[in-house]
Structure 1
Amino acid sequence: MKYIKLRDLEVSRIGLGAMGMSHGYTGSGTDEAESIRTVHRAMELGVTLIDTAEIYGPYTNEELLGRALKGRRDRVVLATKFGLVSHAGAGAWNLDSSPANIRTAVEGSLKRLGTDHIDLYYQHRVDPGTPIEETAGAVGELVAEGKVRAFGLSEAGPDTIRRAHAVHPVSAVQSEYSLWTRGVEDRVLPVLRELNIGLVPFSPLGRGFLTGTIRSADQFDKDDFRRDNPRFTGENFERNLRLADEVKAIAATAGVTPAQIALAWLLAQGDDIAPIPGTKRVTRVEENTAADAVELTAEQLDTLTALPPAAGDTHTEAQQRMLER
């Protein structure tokens, strides 16, 4: 496994997104033992960047990681997120990045994760009700107190990134980025490189679509959030199947899996990028981390880069309103 810097944080080139172990996907929360084995196997393979959030569950994913990392905490760069749970009464899925809410959130996350510090603390979504300067200042106070090592933003736009960074250095921005979601390239990535901020792509495999294993929405449980995702419904689904098949064909020529070629393409976009493919299975974490060794030819890279964008928005209309890109 290779390692890179997200500003001052050294992390594995490929991380692990833990959300699906507890939340959101078909089978989430059904096999804690396998999820814990997956975390341990990832660490054996050199993965150090592990990502969660208080909203995943809510809370149960952080609790799971707390159990998985007991006795191993010092071997990982642990990232979690605040701001999608309002602890003052509005509850889960309500934006709140006020300083008081951050104070409450960090204490809960520290307890659930079984640690005295969070390595990378992200604002999960930009809160229009709280100036980003106040949020950045509050996280800066936590850094000064030793409860947080580094500050991050998720799905933030260029102006928000600049304003936050002017108050307290931003180490990483987490945004959706993959072969079929490339919106960060035009506006966000240039700002990150100007300011020496790392990029942590989530859903680097298109929520599983780019693995080539999804052929029908009937594969999803009723509570799988992909059921109402625009890219997984109607005509969009059929068009995106063809895109997934093209990735699969290119992977076959390279002698790797579709997941590996999608991750290898992402890694080739720069040495300041650390994707966090999510999985709850040992076999998948082994497959994903092996992408670090895949060397694509210039022709393969050009072919992948030239693929058309996916059909449909990345989120539902309500979720789209929380994004800055």
Structure 2
Amino acid sequence: MKQNKLGTSDLFVSEIGLGCMSLSDDHLHNEKIIHEAIDRGVNFFDTADLYQLGFNEETVGKAIKGKRHDVILASKGGNEWGEGIDGWRWNPTKNYLKEALKNSLLRLDIDYLDLYQLHGGTIDDPIDETIEAFEELVQEGTIRYYGISSIRPNVIKEYAEKSNIVSVMMQYSLLDRRPEEWFSLLDKHGLSMIARGPVSKGLLTNDFERKITEKGFLDYSEAELRATLEKLNTLADANTMSSQQLSLRYILDQPQVSTAVTGASTSSQLIENIQSSNVSPLSIELTKKLEALFKAPVYENHRN
């Protein structure tokens, strides 16, 4: 599988990654999925301490035992949970992030993370303190690089200008093209995008009829969504690929995107995701048809 450099780091990540949030509560099943992903060329795995309140990191750790050098492992922190906390609460302080990273490493049963990401963030956070925490973790050798997972323009701009992040994880798909507005900013600072939700919860697949609800999706009404996805399906058929492959290839063709993190709870889902990597880059004509079919809105909130 093609690998891309992640920002200014020396990490080369598979263009299709595995979003571990989709894993089950069965260690053996999860191990099978992760091992098959590795065997098929996936080397980027993304988890978070909040997923299944720690279990997700534990199951990933068990699965990569003996395969640590075959994977680039990313996790996230900043959401505090545990005894005495109802659900979880946001805590981007230096002391908490350093403690959270230590606990993540224990659950994963590893000595370091390749990429540690701030799992959210607001412009009112103590951003200098948060950056200091990440920089100290790099110096201590417990993380190799750091990034943020955020869709807030003002937060992204702040970290791009003040820190040494190498990546920004954002929701990005044909149905959510808002990140495209910020491609020039990523280029300016040498940052890579990690695209999450690239098939929009299954809407951008041939199984879209079963996924549509009366809520629609973002600024697409139910009727508008249905009409748009039917046209996507027709366009994919005409180009002898699935809607999922066409949708993923559009994302992967963007030079700012180093990897598209896809979920997979079954082997068949995993294989279909990976097959998108075998699809040739889209023609300029086909790309323009997709851009004409799907809206290109911008983020309206959290702007300076």
TM-score, structure 1 length as denominator? 0.83
Alignment equivalent of 2:19, drawn from 17, 20, 39: 17
User: Shift in Å at residue 250 of structure 1?
Assistant: 1.4
* CA pair 145-231 structure 1, distance change in 2 beyond 3 A: farther
Alignment equivalent of 1:284, drawn from 259, 269, 279: 269
Q: Is 1:204–1:262's contact at 8 Å kept on the other side of the alignment? A: yes
Q: CA RMSD in A?
A: 2.8
* CA pair 60-260 structure 1, distance change in 2 beyond 3 A: same
User: Shift in Å at residue 278 of structure 1?
Assistant: 1.0
User: What are the equivalent positions in structure 2 for 1:1-325 lying under 5 Å apart?
Assistant: 1-7=1-7, 8=9, 9-22=11-24, 29=25, 31-86=26-81, 89-90=84-85, 92-186=87-181, 188-216=182-210, 230-231=215-216, 236-270=221-255, 272-295=257-280, 296-309=282-295
User: Shift in Å at residue 111 of structure 1?
Assistant: 1.0
User: Shift in Å at residue 108 of structure 1?
Assistant: 1.3
* CA pair 258-196 structure 1, distance change in 2 beyond 3 A: same
User: Shift in Å at residue 92 of structure 1?
Assistant: 3.9
For residues 13-59 of structure 1, give each alpha carbon's deviation from its aligned partner in whole angstroms, at most 9, with x where no partner exists.
1111111114xxxxxx3x54333211111111111111111111121
* CA pair 191-243 structure 1, distance change in 2 beyond 3 A: same
> For residues 207 and 34 of structure 1, what CA distance do their matches in structure 2 show?
21
> For residues 215 and 168 of structure 2, what CA distance do their matches in structure 1 show?
24
Aligned with 1:215: secondary structure? helix
Aligned with 1:276: secondary structure? strand
Q: Is 2:208–2:229's contact at 8 Å kept on the other side of the alignment? A: no
> For residues 94 and 274 of structure 1, what CA distance do their matches in structure 2 show?
29
> For residues 125 and 170 of structure 1, what CA distance do their matches in structure 2 show?
14
User: Shift in Å at residue 168 of structure 1?
Assistant: 3.2
Q: Is 2:138–2:145's contact at 8 Å kept on the other side of the alignment? A: yes
> For residues 254 and 223 of structure 2, what CA distance do their matches in structure 1 show?
28
> For residues 299 and 189 of structure 1, what CA distance do their matches in structure 2 show?
21
Percent of pairs identical after alignment? 30
* CA pair 269-252 structure 1, distance change in 2 beyond 3 A: same
Which amino acid counterpart does residue 240 of structure 1 have in structure 2? L
Q: Is 1:243–1:310's contact at 8 Å kept on the other side of the alignment? A: no
For residues 248-305 of structure 1, give each alpha carbon's deviation from its aligned partner in whole angstroms, at most 9, with x where no partner exists.
2111112111111111111112164311111111112111112112122222211112
User: Shift in Å at residue 124 of structure 1?
Assistant: 0.9
Aligned with 1:256: secondary structure? coil
- Which sections of structure 2, spanning at least 5 residues, go unmatched? none
For residues 111-159 of structure 1, give each alpha carbon's deviation from its aligned partner in whole angstroms, at most 9, with x where no partner exists.
1111111111111101455322211110110010010111111114444
Which amino acid counterpart does residue 4 of structure 1 have in structure 2? N
Q: Is 1:279–1:285's contact at 8 Å kept on the other side of the alignment? A: yes
User: Shift in Å at residue 230 of structure 1?
Assistant: 4.3
User: Shift in Å at residue 238 of structure 1?
Assistant: 3.9
> For residues 172 and 91 of structure 1, what CA distance do their matches in structure 2 show?
31
Q: Is 2:49–2:75's contact at 8 Å kept on the other side of the alignment? A: yes
> For residues 91 and 165 of structure 1, what CA distance do their matches in structure 2 show?
33
Q: How many residue pairs were aligned?
A: 300
Aligned with 2:203: secondary structure? helix
Which deviates the most, 169-178 or 253-262? 253-262
